[in-house]
Amino acid sequence: MSKTEAAAQERERLESLAARVGTPFWVIDAGVLRRRIGEVKAVCGECGFQPRFAMKSLSTWRVLQEMRDQGIWIDAVSGNEVLRARRIGFPGGANPPVIMLTADVLRDNALEVILNERVLVNIGSPGMLRELEAAGYRGPVALRVNPGFGSGHSKGVDTGGPSSKHGVWFEDAGETAAEAARRGLKIIMLHAHIGSGPKLEELLANLNRLTQEFARMAKAFPDLEGFSLGGGIPFTYKEDAPPVEIAQLGPLFADARKRLCEAAGREVRVEIEPGRYFVAPAAHLVTRIRDIKSTRTNEKGTGKNFIMVDGGFVDLIRPAMYGSYHRISIVGRGATNPVEEFAVAGPVCESGDVFTRGSSDLIAPRPLPRPEIGDLLVLHDGGAYGYVMASNYNSVGRAPQVWLEEDGSAVLVSRRETLDDILKAEVEEKL
């Protein structure tokens, strides 16, 4: 199929979906998701690792169902995430711990869910031991360690080091182990998440360092059944950067498992828990271009050309939150027009509702063909922390999600929210 034919087919498919569900909407590509799951399973299978899915990245029921069917375990971070996974059919209990609840603070129904579902709780603060004992919990626990190092695609998402709130500082882990023993709680797994930096080489170095740290700590935890090296497999968002070759993790994983089993003195389970790598390229936000307008250069700065679309940071907040980059394509009559510099902005009543932002939080126009009003504009690779971070700001309903099968068939897996959906929690109750 030629590029022209492929573009025409894509336009026809997206316009057909837009006619049914309106814009903006999310498309989840089943084929891409399955390929990513297959890649992770392949590298884990070669070295005896158990993969988990960090479901906070995209907790849509159909995605969870695919993970369940493929034998991927779950890392949840709230009581409701545990319940969502249980509704899809993931088993409760901690033998084996198919669902793990990782938290720094037990809020809302988290403690109740732990007691009822008996899932493995991964404590991120020592005080959680006191809460668990007081509630009558006597099951096993995991311990999330802050190893003192880590990275992220921006400073706002570093998961290890002195500025990270996550986990128990590694030098305090022994004291926490003793506290757990005094309260009759067995620590059966050590866990850390060192973040998803932009380069695989950085992840390899950090994973090797984390393995060394866990091997050193193992003797202080006689009941260990497993280790989790966290997630952090990077994903390439920019067009000019090479894709991540996940197969490079194989030798490191095999060596890590060997060293950790030796340190524990027995066979133990070793896990990873990607989120972004599984789902980032599997979902895209499809918007409609409603206008094109310009500002002029004056003493405040250089004028800009704006493509105005009906999707905003209520749908995809990552660019506004930390300047993240998403590929953009024009689908429609203007797709072959000459390229110009455009900023892409949405309808939200905030100046920050701009998808084309730079690392310094400034507007960073992109080279895009001049579209025709009414064309579609697609923001690619939004599967990780896209729909799940959507909001009802400005009383806007969250956009629908469409599951696109490999044979081209489509299923609506979440509808567009209505005003009644937004208002259903509002009450007037005397207290």
* Spatial CA neighbour of 342 closest among 290, 284, 285, 294: 294
Report d(CA 365, CA 283) in Å as an integer.
Answer: 23
d(CA 410, CA 407): 9
Residues with catalytic function? 349
Please state, in angstroms and rounded to a whole number, the distance separating the CA atoms of residues 363 and 292: 16
Task: Give 97's contacts (C-beta < 8 A, 6+ positions apart).
Answer: 73, 119, 120, 140, 142, 189
Q: Tokens 């005896």 appear where?
A: 48
Q: Please report how many Cα atoms fall inside a 13 Å half-sphere around the Cα of residue 181, on the Cβ side.
A: 11
Tokens read off for 331: 């689908």
d(CA 333, CA 319): 27
Q: Per the structure block, which two tokens stand in for 304?
A: 């800009």
**Cβ neighbour number for residue 323 with a 10 Å cutoff:** 18
Backbone angles phi, psi at 313, to 5 degrees: -70, -10
Helix (H, G, I), strand (E, B) or coil at 168: strand
Q: What is the dihedral of CA 46, 49, 50, 52, to 10 degrees?
A: -100
> Which amino acid, one-letter code, is at 261?
C
Angle, nearest 10°, between helix axes 200-217 and 249-264?
Answer: 10
